[in-house]
């Protein structure tokens, strides 16, 4: 019987012939390599029996089935959560000053008896609430609008620029929300 060193040299020669010029041979010829090592007595683990191979395969199938069941359960829960959320009524989106058009502002000013000069200026201007706020040159009108929206400003000599410094965007009264 040959020594382990001689068998190892035989294996190296055999592997060199098998793998030369084939970079993917390590994956393709794995079983051949193991068989050759066993044949030369260099691989101490015995070849698994068919029953052992079957047991490993059955365990792998059980693992995959469990994993699939967990994924299905997770997916079903996700669908339930999405449907539960979809059934809830969505809160209405608050309007932005850009959304409040000139007709809405005019109706609001008339209903709350704003001064005729403010209504006339607003009608001639023709813009939405954001544009009206940006272009207004009368601080008294702006302060009146702020009071209608529930804000209380300190009395004083406010300029339109001062009001816009504190409130860069026009507030929207509850009635126009």
- Complete DSSP assignment for 92-123: PPPPPGGGS-HHHHHHHHHHTT--HHHHHHHH
Instruction: Going residue by residue through the chain, which has 177 residues, state the pLDDT in tens, using 9 for 90 and above.
Output: 567 777 777 767 766 566 655 555 555 566 676 677 777 777 666 667 778 878 888 888 787 777 777 776 766 777 767 766 666 666 666 777 778 888 888 888 888 888 899 889 988 888 888 898 899 899 888 888 888 888 877 777 888 888 888 888 888 888 777
Name the token pair of 112: 């709350």
Put simply, whether the predicted model's pTM sits higher than 0.75 gets the answer no
Domain ranges of the chain: 1-47, 48-90, 97-176
């Amino acid at each position: 019987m040959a020594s382990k060193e001689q068998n190892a040299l035989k294996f190296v020669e055999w592997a060199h012939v098998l793998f030369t010029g084939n970079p993917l041979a390590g994956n393709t010829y794995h079983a051949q390599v193991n068989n050759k090592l066993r044949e030369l007595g260099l691989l101490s683990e015995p070849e698994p029996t068919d029953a052992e191979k079957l047991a490993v395969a059955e365990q792998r199938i059980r693992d995959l089935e469990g994993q699939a069941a967990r994924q299905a359960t997770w997916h079903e829960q996700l669908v339930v959560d999405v449907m539960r959320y979809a059934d809830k009524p969505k809160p209405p989106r608050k309007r932005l000053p850009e959304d409040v058009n000139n007709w809405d502002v005019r109706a609001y000013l008339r209903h709350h008896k704003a001064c005729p000069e403010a209504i006339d200026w607003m009608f001639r201007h023709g813009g939405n609430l954001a544009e009206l706020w940006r272009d207004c040159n009368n601080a008294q009108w702006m302060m009146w609008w702020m009071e209608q929206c529930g804000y209380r400003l300190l009395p004083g000599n406010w300029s339109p620029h001062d009001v816009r410094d504190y409130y860069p965007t026009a507030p929207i009264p509850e009635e126009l929300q």
